[in-house]
């Protein structure tokens, strides 16, 4: 490589010394939290290496959980797009199913939360704090009402887009 191929202000990179992060997730904890830790916003407790719903000890460390962090930043991990004539006719029933699925998942997994349900040009866009919840919602709607279901995952950004129509 000669000096003409290097743009001004840049230096060649030594690949034998550069350590690249395999996957980048800004909401993943960088280190282990002291135990117990409680989220001051939702009350979830980090204990035994995971977040759970539990009573917070008096001397617990305070740290915002990844789900509240995503909610504060308005940066979802999952997007579920629902639409079609059948959806329009059964909107309230399908939205009730989505809320039920979120409550079921959230009982054991405090980081799986609905962030928003917004109208989206004849359909609805549901955003979630977790890719697994988005997938579970898509599969629950598909199991109950059939239709067409598609998943699009972007591993670099840890994002899942789910599209359901009928």
123-128/159-165 β-pairing: unpaired
What are the backbone dihedrals phi and psi of residue 72, each rounded to the nearest 5 degrees, phi first? -65, -40
For helices 131-145 and 91-108, the axis angle rounded to 10 degrees is 140
| 1.25.40, 1.10.287, 3.40.50, 3.30.70: CATH of 72-165 | 3.30.70
Average pLDDT of 147-151? Answer: 92
Query: What pLDDT, on a 0 to 100 scale, did the predictor assign at position 15?
Result: 41
Instruction: Tell me what the pLDDT averaged over the chain comes to.
Output: 85
Average pLDDT of 30-45? Answer: 88
Average pLDDT of 64-77? Answer: 94
* 2, containing H or E segment: none
37-38/61-62 β-pairing: parallel
Structure token pair of residue 131: 């890719």
Please write the tens of the pLDDT for every residue from 87-146: 999 999 999 999 999 999 999 999 999 999 999 888 999 999 999 999 999 999 999 999
* 107, containing H or E segment: helix 91-108
Query: What pLDDT, on a 0 to 100 scale, did the predictor assign at position 33?
Result: 83
Q: Is pLDDT of 40 > 90?
A: yes
Structure token pair of residue 6: 């290097």
Residue spans of the domains in the chain: they are 30-64, 72-165
Query: What pLDDT, on a 0 to 100 scale, did the predictor assign at position 158?
Result: 79
Q: Is pLDDT of 29 > 70?
A: no
Query: What pLDDT, on a 0 to 100 scale, did the predictor assign at position 32?
Result: 80
């Amino acid at each position: 490589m000669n000096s003409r191929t290097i743009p001004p202000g840049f230096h060649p990179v030594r690949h034998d010394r550069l350590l690249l992060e395999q996957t980048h997730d800004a909401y993943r904890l960088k280190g282990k939290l002291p135990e117990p830790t409680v989220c001051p916003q939702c009350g979830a407790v980090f204990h035994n290496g995971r977040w759970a719903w539990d009573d917070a000890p008096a001397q617990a460390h305070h740290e915002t959980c990844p789900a509240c962090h995503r909610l504060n930043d308005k940066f979802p991990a999952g997007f579920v797009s629902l639409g079609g004539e059948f959806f329009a006719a059964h909107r309230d029933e399908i939205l009730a199913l989505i809320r039920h699925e979120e409550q079921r998942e959230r009982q054991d997994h405090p980081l799986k939360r609905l962030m928003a349900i917004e109208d989206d040009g004849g359909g609805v866009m549901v955003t979630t704090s977790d890719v697994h919840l988005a997938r579970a919602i898509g599969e629950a709607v598909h199991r109950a009402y059939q239709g067409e279901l598609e998943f699009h995952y972007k591993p670099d950004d840890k994002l899942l887009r789910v599209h359901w129509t009928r």
